Amino acid sequence: MERVLPQPAFATTRPGARGITLKEKSGLGDGKRTKELYKLRQQSALFRRRRRFNSRNRT
């Protein structure tokens, strides 16, 4: 049986902080999906940072 945590547990966290639901986890062998999500999150953070700095200091 898939257990899904009750909503109030997630009420305070921002979306995406809760990561991967148990239902999804049961369907995958390795943490492939979480790895992908992590990569995406890293990329977007880098992209955001880069854009902010690019406007100022061009060498």
Q: Check: CB of residue 38 under 8 Å from CB of residue 20.
A: no
Q: What's residue 38's pLDDT?
A: 72
pLDDT digits (tens, 9 = 90+) for 1-51: 566 555 555 455 555 555 555 555 555 555 666 677 677 777 766 666 666
Burial pattern 25-46, b for ≥16 Cβ within 10 A else e, equals: eeeeeeeeeeeeeeeeeeeeee
pLDDT digits (tens, 9 = 90+) for 28-42: 555 666 677 677 777
Q: Of 6, 3, 9, 33, which Cα lies nearest the Cα of 19?
A: 33
Q: What's residue 36's pLDDT?
A: 72
Q: What's residue 27's pLDDT?
A: 53
Q: What's residue 51's pLDDT?
A: 61
Q: Where are the alpha helices (DSSP H) in 1-59?
A: 22-26, 32-54
